[in-house]
Amino acid sequence: MKLRLSSHMRRKGIQLGRPGAIGAGGLVMCLALYFSIVQPAQQRLDTVRLSVSSLHGQTAQARRATKEGARPLDEQLAAFYGIFPSEHDATDWVGKIAVIAQRDGLNLQQAEYKAERDKTGKLTRFQMSLPLKGEYQTIRRFLSDLRAEIPIVSLEQVQFERQKVGDPLVDAKVRLVIYLGKPS
């Protein structure tokens, strides 16, 4: 059987000649190119098209939900500014920070305060610079507790410095910011 097939192929090969053999080789190359490059690319394209159509559906749904529950911009802005505590409460927030520091084993000897009013909006940026001295883990716990208990405070900068390599205490300079709203 094998012998017949190869003799049959030789006969056909002779009939095709050199141009036919080149054409058959080109056909094999095209099939290899299709199955190795074109077909996987087509599958990726189909996946992307499906993803895009899904995103279009989600966008349309979000647009409908926004139109149904849309509030006027001035109400949205008033609700945004209503989140921030009043400027009159700034000393209360400083007191809460001092209580958390003392509870975590840190002593606040001094602090620098600076308040800047926003020129375009209705917020006051209340910045506090706190020099701390303690163990590294204690200061980290203080910062973590601060964020957990006073979510409106943001850590703007922290700098750690150790006097000697083996010294258990570090000097830290912590800068915190609280955004306060104007009293209504």
Q: What is the pLDDT of residues 151-162, one digit of tens each?
A: 888 999 999 998
Query: What pTM does this model have?
Result: 0.56
* Sheet order of strands, 153-161 included: 112-117, 123-135, 169-181, 153-161
Q: List the structure tokens of 69.
A: 């529950």
Beta bridge mates, 132: 172
Residues 42-94 pLDDT 10s: 888 888 888 788 778 888 877 776 666 667 778 878 888 888 888 888 888 88
Domain layout of the chain by residue ranges = 1-70, 84-181
How many Å apart are CA 140 and CA 87, to the nearest integer?
Answer: 28
Tokens 């050199």: give the residue: 18
Residues 91-136 pLDDT 10s: 888 889 989 999 999 888 788 989 888 887 788 888 999 999 999 9
Task: Kindly indicate whether the domain formed by 84-181 is annotated with CATH number 3.40.1190.20.
Answer: no
Among residues 169, 138, 168, 172, the alpha carbon closest in space to that of 155 is found at 172
- How confident is the model at residue 130, as a pLDDT? 92
